[in-house]
A and B are shown apart, each in its own frame.
Chain A
């Protein structure tokens, strides 16, 4: 899991660098990265971090940016119900785009186990804390992560994860609709609306094209 969790490192550094610009100290950033632990919303919030602090606007935008979690939690639910409580609730509280995708990918092959989930979630969580603090301390040194393609690690990981979910022909149309919607929304709307709108458009497509498969013996119901 370590190579994957390192993919979060450049973004942790960027959050740290943004926090430095916003005037947060180490304890405050650790509180944010530790409790909120949601990269996209931390970027947006820190981008809005001015004096006097627009408390309600920041909280409202955080909600919007993280609305996608509602869909994600719903998709995750059937695959984690059997896990023990100590593992299930912390995972629900703390899943991120990557850890959620890796868990779902795994559950397509075999049922999730508590050690697997912990083995995915803990490194990502620690990498995020460590690199956001590192970014706050040395943020000025990593002004341009583009130089070595670090920024593209994230993109490449996500594309690979998506391909892992794409098994049949009916999986493709939602991806195309989501991509096009996200590109258009990104062009014309501010902030992170494109994530939510792309996701919703893809999900609606998935519902519209869904056809009940004839039951095959030996296939387990999901």
Chain B
């Protein structure tokens, strides 16, 4: 059922992915987190998440860019679910209006 080469590839993918997930967690246990390292780690979540979505939100087209800005504005004031629904709703409307 499972092709041996496919299985080998997937197991290799599994090994390197597990390494990336475990290594950072493990390595930071040997450091004391303060000073600039603390500043760096504080910036990790936002920097990574915004990098993941930046192209889809801000350079995919005008509809996405405006909807991205709407989501930012809503998330500033309202609970997450409101921001998500408002953002998705606005992209649907904007794509219909301006493509």
Chain A residues with CB under 8 Å of chain B are 3, 7, 24-25, 27-28, 31-32, 35-38, 40-41, 45, 52-53, 55-56, 58-59, 62-63, 66-78, 80-81, 92-95, 97, 100-101, 104, 146, 148-149, 151-166, 171, 174-175, 177-179, 181-183, 186-187, 194-210, 212, 222
Q: For B92, what are the chain A residues with a Cβ–Cβ distance below 8 Å?
A: 148-149
- The main secondary structure of chain B at its interface with chain A is helix
Chain B residues with CB under 8 Å of chain A are 1-3, 5-29, 33, 35-59, 64, 67-68, 71-72, 74-76, 80-81, 83-84, 86-89, 91-92, 95
Question: In the bound complex, do residue B21 and residue A92 qualify as a contact, i.e. CB atoms below 8 Å apart?
Answer: yes
Report the minimum CB–CB distance from A54 to chain B (whole Å). 9
A101/B47 contact (C-beta < 8 A), A69-B17, A148-B92, A155-B56 known: no
- The main secondary structure of chain A at its interface with chain B is helix
Question: In the bound complex, do residue B88 and residue A41 qualify as a contact, i.e. CB atoms below 8 Å apart?
Answer: no
Instruction: Using A58-B9, A159-B87, A206-B40 as known contacts, list a sample of 17 further A-B pairs with CB atoms less than 8 Å apart, ordered by residue number in A.
Output: A28-B6, A35-B13, A56-B12, A74-B28, A78-B33, A97-B52, A155-B68, A156-B71, A158-B50, A159-B50, A159-B75, A178-B50, A182-B51, A198-B48, A203-B40, A207-B39, A210-B36
Of A152, A178, A196, the residue contacting B46 (CB under 8 A) is A178
Give A69 to B91 CA distance when docked, in angstroms: 30
Report the minimum CB–CB distance from B24 to chain A (whole Å). 3
Question: In the bound complex, do residue A76 and residue B50 qualify as a contact, i.e. CB atoms below 8 Å apart?
Answer: no
Report the minimum CB–CB distance from A187 to chain B (whole Å). 7
Q: For A162, what are the chain B residues with a Cβ–Cβ distance below 8 Å?
A: 45-46, 49-50, 75
Of A35, A146, A163, the residue contacting B76 (CB under 8 A) is A163
